[in-house]
Each structure stands twice: as structure tokens, then as C-alpha cells.
Structure 1
Amino acid sequence: MMRAYVALGSNLGDSKQHVLEAIEALAALPGTQVMARSRIYRTPPWGKLDQPDFLNAVVALETALEPPALLDALLSIERAAGRERNGERWGPRTLDLDLLHVAGKTVNTERLTLPHPHIADRAFVLLPLHDVAPELDIPGQGKVVDLLQNVDVQGCNAL
């Protein structure tokens, strides 16, 4: 079993429901258990600013799934929630699931980079990640509690 951290986000449709249903779907994955979940945060869009605010959360999982299989499962959950990957980056979406970190695993392939290379830049990831693992040390980036001190959290609010 491995500890994995997954970020969840949504800004289309019933975003809160999309996030909650995704957490249930993660808990239903084979060999997987949700160990902790953050509060849900309302956050301003990142990257592409002319879109609705997002709802974001993070879950900590214990899973037997290796990172590529876990990524496939995340993409399947996104599709089931109506997510269409049309090549647009940072645009509006019903559901976005990002594999942030898997303890003891470093991956650098075309499909997946672990740990996620932009954790340290994003308040919408660090705030909920801090809820579940403030002392988590992200290899090459630092501890979540320290990284959070270096991002702008203005406009980010727990629901």
C-alpha cells in the first residue's frame, strides 16, 4: 500500500456535488481507501482567469494501485463526471483530478510527473493539502507548511 495525494477541482455544474462524488469514486477504487480529506475551498481561477471560481479539495489515499494505474482511474472518474479533455489547458471543467504525490515514487514520463511539478505554485492545491498533510515533504519542493507561506491565498476561502 502506498500513500497518495489527489487534488480535486470543479467549476462547472454542481461543483460541490462533483467533488463529493469524486471522493466517493476514489474510495471505491480497488485496493484503495480514503484516509483523509480536506475542507472544500472556493478559489479564483488559475492560468485562464475569465471563468467561474473553482471548488478545490485534496484527499489522502492508501492504495495498492501503482501510479500509472491510479492515473488511469482518475481519468476514468473525470470522464464519468462529464469531463471532456479537448486540449484546452486551465479552462472550465466539471471535474479535474490531479495526482500530486505518491510516497516513495518519482515518475517522469510523458503522461505523468511525480511529484506534480506545480504544487509549490498553487494556493488551490497547498491550502487543502495543508489540511491533510501539513508536514508532508514534497521531494525537490519542500514541506507543505513552508510552501504555503510563499503563495498568495487571497480570494481562497474554505466553505
Structure 2
Amino acid sequence: MNTVYIGLGANLNAPEAQLRNALNALSTSQELTLAQVSSFYASKPMGPQDQPDYVNAVAKLTTKLSAIDVLDLLQQIELQHGRVRKAERWGPRTLDLDILLYNDAQIATQRLTVPHYGLCEREFVVFPLLEIAPELTLPSGQALADIAASLPRNGLTAISQYDEAASLA
């Protein structure tokens, strides 16, 4: 089995509900097992500041799928939840699902970069990931806890928890 960490984010159309719905889609997929989910965090947007704040989380999954097949599945879930891909890189969105880590793989293709290229600089990824994987060491050999120790939180705040049983009820 492969271990995959994904980042989830949304800032449109009830962002907490968007994340809960995406997690429900992941947990009911025949191809994935949802192992852990961090708290949901409120964060300031990257790029243009004239957009709503984001809600972010990180999930740990296990799967037999290849990294590219996981990417395809995540993009399918994004589309089902109203994601529209635009030219602007950091604009508002209903749902963003990113592969952060896939086992200890280092992947660099036109469609996929793993570890995610912004993982170490983004507080809304590092701190939720640290919450569910405090002993994690990245493929580069860097301890996630060391990265978190030198990264400002930029107002990142835990706001709620994902409750799978309640979300599926």
C-alpha cells in the first residue's frame, strides 16, 4: 500500500462544507482509505488578498493507486465540487486538492511534482501535516518539525474537526 498526504483548501461556497464533502468523497472511494484528517484551519489567501480567507486541512490516505492515478481521482473530485481551473494561479476556488507526499517518492513531471513544490513554505500545509504526522521526515531528509519551528503561522488558526461519522450521516 502507498501512503499519500493530500492538502485540501477552499474559500468559496461554504469552504468547510466543501472540505467535508471532499473528505466524504475520498472516504467512500473504493480506491482509497482515509486514514487521518487534521483539524480544519482558517488561513489568509496566497496571492491576491481581495478574496475570502481559506479553510485548509491535510489528510493521510492509503491506496494501491499510482501517484498519477491519485492525481486523476483528486481532479475528478475537484470537478464534481465545482472547481474551475483558471489562468490565475492563486485565485479563489471551491476546492483545491493537492498531493503533498506520495510515500518517499520524488516525482517531477509536467503534471505532477512530489513533494509538492510549496510544501515547506506554506503554513496552511506544514502545520496541519505536523498535526497528523509529527515524526514525519520529508524525502529530502528534512524533519517536518524543524520546518514548522522556523515557519511563521501568519494567523493560521484551527477552527474545527472533521467527524467522518457525522459527515456521512
TM-score calculated relative to the size of structure 1: 0.96
C-alpha distance in 2 between matches for 1:26 and 1:124: 20
Aligned-residue CA RMSD in angstroms?
1.1
Instruction: Tell whether the 8 Å contact from 1:120 to 1:141 is kept in structure 2 after alignment.
Output: no
2:144 counterpart letter in structure 1: V
Q: Which residue of 2 aligns with 1:47?
A: 47
Between the aligned partners of 1:31 and 1:13, the Cα distance in structure 2 is 27
Unaligned runs of 5+ in 1: none
Per-residue deviation at 1:141? Answer: 6.3
- Would you say the 8 A contact 2:40–2:55 is kept in 1? yes
Mapping for residues 3-18 of structure 1, pairs under 5 Å: 3-18=3-18
Q: Taking structure 1 as reference, are residues 116 and 141 closer, same or farther at Cα in structure 2, changes over 3 Å only? A: farther
How many residues were matched structurally?
A: 159
Report the residue type matching 2:146 in the other structure: D
Q: Which residue number in structure 2 is paired with residue 28 of structure 1?
A: 28
Identity %: 39
Q: CA offsets per residue over residues 85-126 of structure 1, 9 Å max, x none? A: 012101100000000001132211000011112111000101
Report the alpha carbon displacement of residue 78 of structure 1 after superposing the two structures with TM. Answer: 0.5
The amino acid across from 2:98 in the alignment is D
Secondary structure of the residue that 1:65 maps to in structure 2?
A: coil
Counterpart-to-counterpart distance in 2, 1:62 and 1:40: 20
Shift of 1:146: 1.1
Q: Which residue of 1 aligns with 2:95?
A: 95
Structure 1's consecutive aligned runs of 4 or more residues displaced over 3 angstroms after TM superposition are none
Distance 1:52 1:66 in 2: 34
What's the counterpart of residue 107 of structure 1? Answer: 107
Question: Where in structure 2 are there 5+ consecutive unaligned residues?
Answer: 160-169
Of 24-33 and 68-77, deviating more is 24-33
Structure 2 letter corresponding to 1:110: Q
